[in-house]
Structure 1
Amino acid sequence: MSNDYRNILVAIDLSDESRKVLQRAKEIAARNNQARISVVHTLEPLGFAYGGDIPMDLTSIQDQLDAHARKRMNELLEDMNIPEDNRHILVGMPDSETHRLAKEQEVDLIVVGSHGRHGLQLLLGSVSSGVLHGAPCDVLAVRVGK
Structure 2
Amino acid sequence: MSAYKKMLVSIDLTEEAPQVLEKAKAMSEAHGASLLLVHVVEPVGYAYGGDIPMDLTELQDQLDKAAREQLAAYGDTYGVDKAHQVVAVGRPESEVHRLVKEHEADLVIVGTHGRKGFQLLLGSTANGILHGTQCDVLAIRIH
Deviation at 1:54, TM superposition (A): 2.7
Distance in structure 1 (CA, Å) of the matches to 2:30 and 2:55: 47
Higher helix content, 1 or 2: 2
* Aligned residue number for residue 97 of structure 1: 95
Deviation at 1:20, TM superposition (A): 1.4
Q: More deviation in 68-77 or 98-107?
A: 68-77
- Report the 3-state secondary structure (helix = DSSP H, G, I; strand = E; otherwise coil) of the residue aligned with 1:13: coil
**CA distance change for structure 1 residues 139 and 121 in 2, over 3 Å: closer, same or farther?**
farther
- What is the TM-score normalised by the length of structure 1? 0.90
Residue identity opposite 1:20 in structure 2: Q
For 1:2-26, what per-residue CA distance to the aligned partner results, in whole angstroms no more than 9, with x for missing partners? Answer: 6100000000000121111111111
Residue identity opposite 2:100 in structure 1: A
Distance in structure 1 (CA, Å) of the matches to 2:59 and 2:30: 41
For 1:82-128, what per-residue CA distance to the aligned partner results, in whole angstroms no more than 9, with x for missing partners? Answer: 01011111100000000000011100000000013222656xx6111
Counterpart check, 1:36 vs 2:34: yes
Match of 1:45 among 43, 60, 63: 43
Match of 1:81 among 79, 82, 98: 79
Does the 8 A contact of 2:38 with 2:85 survive in 1? yes
* Aligned residue number for residue 136 of structure 1: 134
Residue identity opposite 1:17 in structure 2: E
Deviation at 1:78, TM superposition (A): 2.4
Match of 1:109 among 107, 112, 135: 107
* Aligned residue number for residue 24 of structure 1: 23
Residue identity opposite 1:7 in structure 2: K
- What is the TM-score normalised by the length of structure 2? 0.92
Distance in structure 1 (CA, Å) of the matches to 2:104 and 2:119: 28
- Report the 3-state secondary structure (helix = DSSP H, G, I; strand = E; otherwise coil) of the residue aligned with 2:62: helix
Residue identity opposite 1:82 in structure 2: V
RMSD between superposed Cα atoms in Å: 1.7
Distance in structure 1 (CA, Å) of the matches to 2:119 and 2:4: 27
Residue identity opposite 2:31 in structure 1: N
* Aligned residue number for residue 2 of structure 2: 3
Does the 8 A contact of 2:40 with 2:87 survive in 1? yes
Consecutive unaligned residues of structure 2, counting only runs of 5 or more, are none
Deviation at 1:53, TM superposition (A): 3.9
- Report the 3-state secondary structure (helix = DSSP H, G, I; strand = E; otherwise coil) of the residue aligned with 1:40: strand
Residue identity opposite 1:41 in structure 2: H
